[in-house]
Amino acid sequence: MKKYHLVRRSGQSIKRLLIYYLIGITISMGIGAVLLWSLGINPFEYYGRMLTIGMVGNKYAYKNVEGLLKILVPLLITSLALGLSFKMRFWNIGGEGEFLIGAISAAIVAFNVTGLPRPLTILLMCIAAMLSSGLLGLAVAFFKVRFNTNETLVTLMLNYIMLYLITYLGKTKEDWNFFLDPKSARPIFGKFPESAIMDGIKIGNFNLLWSVIIAVALIIFIYIYLKYTKHGYEISVVGDSAATAKYAGMKVSRIIMRTMFISSAMIGLAAGLTASASGTISETVTNNVGWTGIVVAWLGKLSVPAIAVTSVLIAILQFGCKTAATKYPSIDSNFADLLQGIILFSVLTADFCATFTLKKKEDAKK
Amino acid sequence: MEYAIELKGISKQFGPLFANKNVSLQLKKGEILALLGENGSGKTTLMNMLSGIYMPDSGSIFIDGKKVSISSPEDSAKLGIGMVHQHFKLVERFTALDNIRIGLRDNKGLLLKKDTKEQVMKQAERFGFEIDPDKLVSNMSVSEKQTLEILKVLCYGAKIIILDEPTAVLTVQEIDKLFKVLRKMKEEGHSIIIITHKLNEVMDVSDRVTVLRHGEYIDTVVTKETDEKRLTELMVGRKIDLDISCPVIEKTKPLLEIRGLTVKNDEGAVAVDHLDFYIRGGEILGVAGIAGSGQKELCEAIAGLRPVIDGKIIHKGDNIVGLSPHKILEKGISMSFIPEDRLGMGLAPSLSITDNMILKNYADNKGPFIDRKSAREEAKKVIERLKVVTPSTETPVRKLSGGNVQKVLLGREIKSGPNVLITAYPVRGLDIGSSYMIYDILNEQKKKDVGILFIGEDIDVMMALCDKIMVICHGRLQGVVNSNHTTKEEIGLMMTGALDLVDKGGKTAGIAKDSVIEDAEDKNKAEDAGL
């Protein structure tokens, strides 16, 4: 006879959620500590470096902030964009593919448009990236509303198509392939001309890239867009109940296609900014934001401020793990990935525990 | 005395809400027990604990005097309990026989038993079921499906049969047939629990009645020693006036005239077939028909949400066929449809009352932003006028109780002052008190010379509330009857298509004497239809 069963908790409490998150993170870091200790590394030192992203006692601490922001910007924009489509219950898991096509398009502009001033070149790169990604998302949405295809499968497949496309470009040494470095005998992606590489505002030695400012502006814009505009209202109604939207006379197909275009175009923008900031592209240009973004969007419960906070925390975790790992020869960046995985898993478990509780069955009182 | 089923102190909680609180119930062997209660009183939850879908949080279950634990439908079936759910659990693409085969547990070995058909037919004969074992479920009528469901649990050897609102989807004649079968089953020694909130049925078929209210056990009475009034009081908890008023208003010229309307359903089959009818201002026209007779398609066609294949919809002299839903709304035609899940259409459940208020006219505000301020004002007005119980205007609609959800929906539809109000199943799933409040709202609109199309399920209610009742069967008009001069039996016969009153007494039903549509056009129309 079953004595216990799962019951949804009554009411939601932010406080309880945060406490559970804290417990979850502590446990996962405890597991990480045991692993580190068994490898002969002092876990406190490691975690200290990780959480301060290696800034303490570092002459070039500002470099680490720059590095962190480079990871943060694409993750933040991609998570926001994915959140937009998830809010409409459109399961766009094609962040990777949309990012890659955006990066390729930005690179096409960067390698071929020369002689223009830097802001104009970068603007053109971003427009090219947004258009290509946006059209890809629009196509997925079109097939969904026209033929009722499964968007999860389509976007997933497109991820692989785009990955193999960029791999092909990076491995094919031919005359037409302007993506590659002409000086190198081996096929490697070339560096963008100077006018296609993003600069920023100098604050002392610290270089605040323009992409950061754009990302912050996007947070505010999307927040207002979802909360106060007609478009945002339509997205929530369609996501809540497509039948209701239809009954209210909304053009559901058009709303889905428009939102998917905006969502993918934002991912394209993230790709354009990232390509420009790093001055080149590669197969790993996405840094997996298409995947991590899904986790961030859901951990942030599709709320814009929560997505912003979550992506900062995840970026610190990613960058911190990598910096801490560089100091110890016995571990490499794979350990950072492992630790990230453990922490994310425990946070999701904590989320589950905060929503559900175990209840004991009682017999009737005689 | 040993009971077939005895429940002692059963409680079940969903979040903070008690669906059942300390409920006790006894079912004698060979009796029909009616389980009576308003919607949300926990009848279905209680029965789901007997059929193994839920586990009680506390309390004990005794079958034939032995304490048992039911943790799965499998356990329940082994104990001889069979439940016929409100929403049938059948495989549409299988035949009747194959549907029964799925759950047979005596089938050992790899091959299907050959004598299953014989066994099934023997059972069917014993209880007087009419069933074709080789018919596909997808070709069956609702009543046939229900027969199959009951036969299914009998074939699985159930001695205790639970029926969850079995009459909700049946016509009067079909209900009689069902009750005959139930009595036969009782004679054969089966024990039956029937869940319902229709009092006349309780009086008709049951031996005893157990009443639940707000998840709590109220009383068990012997049917012969009670009456409908007493049962209502037990069910609602206070005295209630069971009369629905139908005020007589001076009627205006036809507001909405529908002529030869033909509409297809999502599968492309004809759902509304050359339908003629009209609504005047100041009257309520009821639409009766078996579920799925084209009611939904009719509503959607009038509201401009579904393409019209053929025919006219004339509103105050203008044909509105082909106009956008928004334009039709602007003309003062308002449509609300309560689907089976009650939240699927018309309201966005996770959005606040405020946000739901502007669902149909959010686009009227100039500029890219929505006007939440005036929406909040409207929400406040609706809450005040219709006495909606809610913590605030910002509460998500799904957190409201059923009656309040439907009040919000109706409130939105009437706030813009429509002249034609189309409302489908507005009291679906509501308790008696809330239903009467909805009828009052509709009558109030009628007094304002609004023409109301009321698509309903309960014929008793329609006969009391509506001025006239139009009956459709397979999307075809069977006739329009005056609700003062008709009987339930007549409407029942028309619903099944057995009685056609369209051309009764030389007068064609559904076409107004003072129609604004030109006669010549009509003749052409009639000729076209004839060809």
> Residue A97: its pLDDT value, please?
96
Which residue in this structure is represented by tokens 């990613």?
A318
Contact between B381 and B402 under an 8 Å Cβ cutoff? The reply is no
Q: Which two structure tokens, joined as six digits, stand for B294?
A: 């084209």
Min Cα separation B330/chain A (Å): 12
Do the domain assignments include residue B37? yes
Do the domain assignments include residue B474? yes
Please determine, for residue B521, whether its predicted confidence score (pLDDT) is greater than 60.
no
Min Cα separation B359/chain A (Å): 6
Instruction: Specify the DSSP class assigned to residue B388.
Output: -
> Residue B337: its pLDDT value, please?
80
Q: Are residues A266 and A154 in the same domain?
A: yes
Do the domain assignments include residue A253? yes
Global pTM value: 0.78
Q: Which residue has the higher pLDDT, A78 or B16?
A: A78
Q: Are residues A206 and A350 in the same domain?
A: no
Q: Are residues B171 and B274 in the same domain?
A: no
Question: Residue B344 and residue A364: Cβ atoms within 8 Å?
Answer: no
Nearest to A363 among B55, B60, B344 (CB): B60
Contact between B154 and B82 under an 8 Å Cβ cutoff? The reply is yes
Question: What residues in A contact B396, CB-CB < 8 Å?
Answer: none
Do the domain assignments include residue A18? yes
User: Which candidate in B20, B53, B369, B425 is best for mutational testing of the A interface (most A CBs within 10 A)?
Assistant: B369
Q: Are residues A215 and A357 in the same domain?
A: no
Question: Residue B347 and residue A244: Cβ atoms within 8 Å?
Answer: yes
Give CA–CA dist A201/B531, Å, rounded: 80
Low-confidence ranges of chain A (pLDDT < 50): 1, 364-366
User: Which candidate in B61, B362, B405 is best for mutational testing of the A interface (most A CBs within 10 A)?
Assistant: B362
Packing angle between helix A210-228 and helix A230-240, nearest 10 degrees?
70
B531 pLDDT band, cuts 50/70/90, is: very low
Q: Are residues A270 and A354 in the same domain?
A: no
Q: Amino acid identity of A69?
A: L
Q: Are residues A86 and A117 in the same domain?
A: yes
Return the percentage of chain B with pLDDT > 70, whole number. Answer: 92
Do the domain assignments include residue A49? no
CATH number, position B523: 3.40.50.300
Q: Are residues B210 and B328 in the same domain?
A: no
Q: Are residues A99 and A28 in the same domain?
A: no
Domain boundary residue among B210, B236, B262? B236
The answer to whether A364 contacts chain B (CB < 8 Å) is: yes
Q: Are residues B70 and B197 in the same domain?
A: yes
Q: Are residues B89 and B231 in the same domain?
A: yes
Q: CA-CA distances (angstroms) from residue A290 to A77, A96, A183, B416?
A: 10, 4, 32, 46
Q: Which residue has the higher pLDDT, A105 or B395?
A: A105
Considering just the CA atoms, what is the radius of gyration of chain B in Å? 25
3-class secondary structure, B200: helix
Give CA–CA dist A224/B161, Å, rounded: 56
Q: Are residues A157 and A222 in the same domain?
A: yes
Please choose, from the candidates B188, B259, B275, the residue with its C-alpha nearest in 3D space to the C-alpha of residue B518. Answer: B259
Give CA–CA dist A110/A125, Å, rounded: 7
Q: Are residues A91 and A227 in the same domain?
A: yes
Query: Rounded to a whole number, what is the distance in angstroms from the first to the last CA of chain B?
Result: 71
Q: Which two structure tokens, joined as six digits, stand for A37?
A: 């200790």
Question: Residue B71 and residue A2: Cβ atoms within 8 Å?
Answer: yes
Number of structural domains found in chain A = 2
> Residue A343: its pLDDT value, please?
85
Q: B14: domain range?
A: 5-236
Do the domain assignments include residue A302? yes
Q: Are residues B129 and B261 in the same domain?
A: no
Which residue in this structure is represented by tokens 């037990």?
B234
Nearest to A247 among B58, B345, B369 (CB): B345
Question: Residue B363 and residue A247: Cβ atoms within 8 Å?
Answer: no
Do the domain assignments include residue A318? yes
Question: Residue A241 and residue B343: Cβ atoms within 8 Å?
Answer: yes
Q: A24: domain range?
A: 1-41+331-366
Do the domain assignments include residue B338? no
Q: Mark which residues 11-30 of A lie under 8 Å from B by CB.
A: 11
Q: Are residues B154 and B69 in the same domain?
A: yes
Domain boundary residue among B184, B210, B236? B236
> Residue B126: its pLDDT value, please?
85
Map A111-166 to HEC letters.
HHCCCCCHHHHHHHHHHHHHHHHHHHHHHHHHHHHHHCCCHHHHHHHHHHHHHHHH
Nearest to B350 among A228, A240, A364 (CB): A240
Please choose, from the candidates B168, B454, B145, B489, the residue with its C-alpha nearest in 3D space to the C-alpha of residue B295. Answer: B454
Q: Are residues A31 and A108 in the same domain?
A: no
Nearest to B8 among A11, A230, A364 (CB): A364
Please choose, from the candidates B197, B190, B129, B114, the residue with its C-alpha nearest in 3D space to the C-alpha of residue B457. Answer: B197
> Residue B37: its pLDDT value, please?
84
> Residue B113: its pLDDT value, please?
72
Do the domain assignments include residue B342? no
Q: Are residues B103 and B187 in the same domain?
A: yes
> Residue A362: its pLDDT value, please?
56
Counts for chain B of helices (H) and strands (E), in that order: 17, 20
Q: Which residue has the higher pLDDT, B441 or B402?
A: B441
Q: Are residues A131 and A158 in the same domain?
A: yes
Give CA–CA dist A276/A7, Å, rounded: 50
Number of structural domains found in chain B = 2
Chain A, nearest residue to B323 by Cα? A249
Give chain B's mean pLDDT.
Answer: 85
Please choose, from the candidates A317, A213, A194, the residue with its C-alpha nearest in 3D space to the C-alpha of residue A273. Answer: A213
Domain boundary residue among B236, B270, B290? B236
Question: Residue A230 and residue B363: Cβ atoms within 8 Å?
Answer: yes
The β-bridge partners of B521 are none
What are the helix (H) ranges across B139-190? 142-155, 172-187
> Residue A307: its pLDDT value, please?
95
Do the domain assignments include residue B308? yes
CATH number, position A249: 1.10.3470
Please choose, from the candidates B48, B38, B50, the residue with its C-alpha nearest in 3D space to the C-alpha of residue B5. Answer: B50
Q: What does residue A360 show for φ and ψ, rounded to 5 degrees?
A: -95, 140
Q: Which residue has the higher pLDDT, A234 or B513?
A: A234
Contact between A23 and A350 under an 8 Å Cβ cutoff? The reply is yes
Question: Residue A249 and residue B349: Cβ atoms within 8 Å?
Answer: no
Please choose, from the candidates B339, B342, B480, B333, the residue with its C-alpha nearest in 3D space to the C-alpha of residue B419. Answer: B333
> Residue B508: its pLDDT value, please?
67
Do the domain assignments include residue B27? yes
Q: Are residues B225 and B256 in the same domain?
A: no
Q: Are residues B32 and B144 in the same domain?
A: yes
User: Which candidate in B359, B376, B416 is best for mutational testing of the A interface (most A CBs within 10 A)?
Assistant: B359
> Residue A11: its pLDDT value, please?
65
Do the domain assignments include residue A98? yes
Longest dimension (CA), chain B: 77
Q: Are residues B159 and B270 in the same domain?
A: no
Min Cα separation B259/chain A (Å): 24
CB pairs under 8 A between A and B: 93
> Residue B530: its pLDDT value, please?
45
Left, alpha or beta for B206 (phi > 0: left; psi -120 to 50: alpha)?
beta
Tens of pLDDT along B88-132? 888 989 999 888 888 776 666 666 777 888 888 888 888 888 888
Do the domain assignments include residue A50? no
Q: Are residues A36 and A185 in the same domain?
A: no
Q: Are residues A362 and A321 in the same domain?
A: no
Tens of pLDDT along B21-74? 899 999 999 999 999 887 778 888 899 899 888 888 889 999 988 899 888 888
Q: CA-CA distances (angstroms) from residue B236 to B233, B421, B486?
A: 5, 30, 30
Q: Amino acid identity of A42?
A: N
Q: Which helix (H) or strand (E) holds A219?
A: helix A210-228
Do the domain assignments include residue B371? no
Question: Residue B369 and residue A229: Cβ atoms within 8 Å?
Answer: yes
Q: Are residues B501 and B468 in the same domain?
A: yes
Q: Mark which residues 227-246 of A lie under 8 Å from B by CB.
A: 228-231, 233, 236-237, 240-241, 243-246
Q: Are residues B227 and B273 in the same domain?
A: no
Chain A, nearest residue to B356 by Cα? A237
Nearest to A365 among B9, B55, B343 (CB): B9
Query: Rounded to a whole number, what is the distance in angstroms from the first to the last CA of chain A?
Result: 19
Packing angle between helix A95-112 and helix A289-299, nearest 10 degrees?
130
Question: What residues in B contact A358, CB-CB < 8 Å?
Answer: none
